[in-house]
Every structure is written in structure tokens, then in C-alpha cells.
Amino acid sequence: MSKTVHVAVYDTYADWELGYVTAGINRPLMQREPGAWQIRTVGATTAPITSMGGLRVVPDLTLDQLTPEDSAMLILPGADIWEGEQLLPFARAAQDFLAAGVPVAAICGATYGLAAQGLLDSRPHTSNAAEYLVPTGYSGAAQYRDEPAVTDGDLITASGIAPIDFARHVFARLDLFDPAVLDAWYRLYAERDPQGFYDLQAQGAESA
């Protein structure tokens, strides 16, 4: 199995939705296989893009170079432009990944793009709100779950205001951490439980 996680980047992508995910994958200290994982960014081209927070990123590879067999997961952040057709190629890439049995994780506006592509019609999922997905014309409203994040097999979906829950689902799907480490991490960051910090230290993991 590939240990490369591909993160899609495009203009106005919501950088805050990815912070916990990318830090957790890129820092080896808490992982089952320290140093085995890497993140590579994927753009429509290799031209620099600018995030919603003004960060400039130069993609590592282009979408036409991306293949499911070379990836452990495709992560799609939200962006101001998901409700148009500009990011349709990324939704189609997600479709190819799911068809190949490679996980896809989508948060915020990216769930809109997946719904428009028909990828949420028969899968339990969540988003920013049930009403947010209605304009896509999708037929999966009965599958909507009012939860911060939902995992259904190879598909993870999340609300844009739940980046910590999104990260927890991504980490669990990748089997990145021992369950006790992931539990302590979540208690520290999501529940603000100081005991989570001490539990991480007790297991030899730094909480960053």
C-alpha cells in the first residue's frame, strides 16, 4: 500500500480545514510507522495557487499525473469555487479513486462537488448542512447524517467547522496511530482535556 496521501489544492482552498490532517500525517512522532508517510499536493497545473488565508502553494504534481494506485488517500478541502464547474476534474478524480477502492476525504465545499458528481447518492455522508447540498440536485438526501464527520467505507465527509473530527476520521481510516494515541489526541484537541496531553506523553508521543 502506498504511504503517500495526496492533498488537492486550488485557489481559495480553505487552509484551516487541513491543518490538523497535514500536521498529523507529516509529523512522525505519534505514528505506528514513523517516517513512512508523506503528503504531496495536487493541482490542476503546477502554477502556484493561493489559499483562502493567502498562503501560496506550488503543487507537487498535476491532476493528470495522479493515479489511485500510487496513493493512500485523496483529500479534498473546501473552496469558494466548488459550487461552479471549475473543480469538476477533482470530483471526477474522487470518483476514480472510489471506483479503485482508494479512500477519499472531502470537507466543506468539496462535499458539494461530490454530491453534484453523484457520489453521495447512496452513501451515508455529511456536509455543512443538509440544505447546503440540495442545489446539487443529488438524490442522496435520505443518506445525510447530521454529524461533524462521517466515514462510509472509503469515503469520509465532514462539515467545514469540524476540522478536528475530520482529521480523526482520516487518521483512523489510514490506521496512522494506535487507538490509544488517537483517543488521547482527540481528547486533547477536540475536548480540551489536559489529561489527553499527559496520556500522549505517557505513551511516548508528543502532542505538538
pLDDT in tens, 117-176: 999 999 999 999 999 999 999 999 999 999 999 999 999 999 999 999 999 999 999 999
4-22 pLDDT tens trace: 999 999 999 999 999 999 9
pLDDT band at 206 (very low <50, low <70, confident <90, very high): low
Whether 207 shows a pLDDT value over 70: the answer reads no
Grid coordinates 488517537 are at which residue? 182
19-53 pLDDT tens trace: 999 999 998 888 999 989 999 999 999 999 999 99
Cell of residue 63, nine digits? 491532476
Looking at residue 28, its pLDDT comes to 86
Q: Averaged over 81-96, what is the pLDDT?
A: 96
The pTM (predicted TM-score) of the whole model is: 0.95
Q: Averaged over 92-120, what is the pLDDT?
A: 98
CB of 187 closer than 8 Å to CB of 195: yes
Cell of residue 60, nine digits? 507537487
Looking at residue 208, its pLDDT comes to 45
Looking at residue 31, its pLDDT comes to 92
pLDDT band at 2 (very low <50, low <70, confident <90, very high): confident
Residues annotated catalytic, as ranges: 108
Please state the φ and ψ torsions of residue 201, each to the nearest 5 degrees. Answer: -65, -40
Domain boundaries, the chain: 3-177, 178-207
Which of 56-60, 105-109, 187-191, 201-205 bottoms out in mean pLDDT, i.e. has the lowest? Answer: 201-205
| CATH T-level assignment (fold) for domain 3-177 | Rossmann fold (3.40.50)
Which of 23-27, 93-97, 129-133, 199-203 bottoms out in mean pLDDT, i.e. has the lowest? Answer: 199-203
Q: Which of 95, 46, 40 is nearest to 72 (CA)?
A: 40
Please state the φ and ψ torsions of residue 163, each to the nearest 5 degrees. Answer: -65, -30
Q: Averaged over 53-76, what is the pLDDT?
A: 97
Q: Averaged over 186-190, what is the pLDDT?
A: 97
